[in-house]
Amino acid sequence: MIDKGEQTEVGTVNSLEHYPTGGSVRCKCGRTGCFEVTASDHALVARAVDIGLIDAPRMRLLQAKAAAGDAQATRMFVERAEVLGRVAAGVRDMTGPDRTVLVGQAFTGFPAALTDVIASFERSSSMPPGSVSVTRFGDDIQAVAACALAVGPVYDDPVGLVTAWEATG
């Protein structure tokens, strides 16, 4: 990490699995409130099953409940939206990217909570309102991400690939 005054250059960012959220759910690491046990799809549906809201740990079941107007399911998504926005704002403020685009099913899987995510982000970030956007790929982001990985070598070293390809022909 290189501190440049206005910005800090970060070469590698670790997983957000154990990023502290201030929550009370115990994590396998021994602490409470880690991001994964608080806001992941897995954690959310597990809690919904525990309280009898849904019969099986499937996100689409919980989403359907909320979409049908179930107050408890909706509250779970709204509470998660608050955490997602706060964590995204913390990461944004630490890394200072040129643009902030939220991606992933946690943001796009229940669109009704998106305004709560944005509001939480804007309350928690030092950036002015309107500085965060949400991916236009929606739930297709996984397929797009896979393609990005597949074409990664081309962007990393296009000349090297041509040379290697010519060597095989």
User: Which residue number, 28 or 123, has a Cβ lying nearer to Zn ion?
Assistant: 28
Please write down the HEC assignment for all residues of 76-120.
HHHHHHHHHHHHHHHHHHHHCCCCEEECCHHHHCCHHHHHHHHHH
Nearer to Zn ion, 19 or 137 (CB): 19
Give dist(CA 55, CA 76) in Å, integer. Answer: 16
- Selection from 44, 13, 32 nearest residue 109 by Cα: 44
Q: Decide: 73 and 53 in contact? Cβ < 8 Å.
A: yes
**What is the C-alpha separation between 32 and 39, in angstroms, rounded?**
12
User: Nearer Cβ to Zn ion, position 54 or 87?
Assistant: 87
**Does residue 87 interact with Zn ion by CB under 5 A?**
no
Closer CB to Zn ion, residue 32 or residue 74? 32
Kindly state the smallest distance separating residue 34's Cβ from Zn ion, in Å.
3
Q: Considering the complex, what minimum distance in angstroms separates the CB of residue 50 from Zn ion?
A: 19
If the CB atoms of residues 27 and 44 are measured against Zn ion, the closer one turns out to be: 27
Interacting positions 12-71 with Zn ion (CB under 5 A): 18, 27, 29, 34
Q: Least distance (Å) from Zn ion to the CB of residue 28?
A: 6
Q: How far is the CB of 14 from Zn ion (least distance, A)?
A: 12
- Nearest residue to 113 via CA among 59, 32, 53: 59
Q: 81, 114, 101: which is closest to 144 by C-alpha?
A: 101
Q: How far is the CB of 26 from Zn ion (least distance, A)?
A: 9
CB under 5 A: which stretch of 10-18, 64-72, 83-91, 123-131 binds Zn ion? 10-18
User: Where along the sequence are the contacts to Zn ion (CB under 5 A)?
Assistant: 18, 27, 29, 34
